[in-house]
Amino acid sequence: MYKKKKFNIAIVGLGTIGSHLYKYLEKNKELLAKKTNIIPHISYVSAKNFKKKRNFKIPKNKWLKNYLDVTKKNDVDIIVELIGGAEGPAKKLVFEALKNGKHVVTANKALIAKYGDKLSHIAEKNRLNLEFEASVCGGIPIIRCIKEGLIANNIIKIQGILNGTSNYILSSMDKDKKSFKDALIKAQSLGYAESNPSSDLNGDDVAAKLKILSSLCFNSFLNHHIYVEGINTVDQIDINNANKLGYKIKLIGVSEIYNNKLIQRVHPSLVKESSYIAGINGVLNAVIVDGKPVGQSIIQGEGAGPEATTSALISDISSILRGNIKYPFALSSKERKNIKVDSISNKNFSSYVRLDVTDRHGVLANITEYFAKNKVSLKRLIQNPIFTKKYSSIIIITHKTKDLHLMKTISQLEKKKYIIKKPKLIRIED
């Protein structure tokens, strides 16, 4: 009978994800061996606090106090990096692992978004796998889908909801009528948001994921020219106004070829309530890919959490076990390209604008004059009184115009004395 080969795995980082992966591999190694014809064996683990009490046992001979030691061990074939962060130990580990001939599997979007090109070059040179399916949208196999399933397509646009935390907060504000603060507290209590959720709320998390997807879609090197805006300024008033106008507010990441140039952007958007993306609620993620000849492909699922992330990690590990040595970004570094970029300021948008103003004669006329001067045509205008007759909230929906013109208008208006709060602008996504 044919004897199955053994592949040795080291896991570095034993937080929620690392612990879940360890238990899964130990429990399901026979099943994975049947599917890959290779036995996955955990040879070592390393974590910041090896004395921490865990609900499972790890043999003492598997522990390494110095995480970098796994890169030098002969009985390690695959290193799974679950430390996190673009710098520090995670960066040292992955660079050393690839230099020392070890395959790498990681869920670290920040690291790949910043150093993916350099790491990919080392992996290619040493004929190693650098796998990062778990870095983007957890349980959604979007990276493998782009690299393999959509390989025949010329992709022109990728967009979607790429962060479960922000989506949960916006959904909760909409459905449960919670304030931003209360929705965040609820998300934290349920484990959907970290104690420090800044990267989820300010758009940085989505930006890192979008850079990775963009590079894969357009066969380019990682491009760091990206417009980023988070959900921090979205409040209940905007949610309610959007509903009245037939829209939902979502944090959208979009990467597209526009006038033969790449535009990458992350920002809250008004989307039609009848659209597919408007129905993605809670912690779900969804990605929409526009390509030729396939047309539009949609994939959705759990974007985060130990189960979803473990699913993606196991997929990458299994691919290595099967002996699939492939380029990390689908093409070799020689074949990837630098792509021309453009600013969001040159793209045409319709937009939602909210101006809180002192309610006095001539204010409305003055506001519309500024829009006209900057070549911004108004599609709809609504004036709502606020509590007293002294203040009004003016809601404007613009026709499509260059973002540059719109931002110039807002910049000019916010200096006017009759503007009592910073103007609110949310772009409308067609």
Question: Which sequence positions are flagged as catalytic?
Answer: 209
Judge contact between 80 and 317, C-beta under 8 A: yes
Can you tell me the distance from the alpha carbon of 52 to that of 56, in angstroms, rounded to the nearest whole number?
Answer: 11
- Rg of the chain (C-alpha set): 24
129: alpha, beta or left? (left if phi > 0; alpha if psi -120 to 50): beta
Q: Any idea which residue has 């790890």 for tokens?
A: 58
288: alpha, beta or left? (left if phi > 0; alpha if psi -120 to 50): beta
* Residues present in the chain in total: 430
Judge contact between 238 and 212, C-beta under 8 A: no
Can you tell me the distance from the alpha carbon of 197 to that of 195, in angstroms, rounded to the nearest whole number?
Answer: 6
- Residue 191's alpha-carbon distances to 27, 38, 338, in angstroms, are 25, 35, 39
For residue 53, the Cα-to-chain-centroid distance in whole angstroms is 32
Does residue 29 sit in helix, strand or coil? Answer: helix
Does residue 32 sit in helix, strand or coil? Answer: helix
Identify the burial level of 415 via C-beta atoms within 10 angstroms of its C-beta, where 0-12 means exposed, 13-18 middle and 19 or more buried. Answer: exposed
Query: Residue 143 belongs to what H/E stretch?
Result: helix 142-144
Judge contact between 102 and 79, C-beta under 8 A: yes
Q: Which two tokens stand for residue 227?
A: 């417009």
Q: Which two tokens stand for residue 60?
A: 């003492």
Would the CA dihedral through 149, 155, 157, 162 be positive or negative? Answer: positive
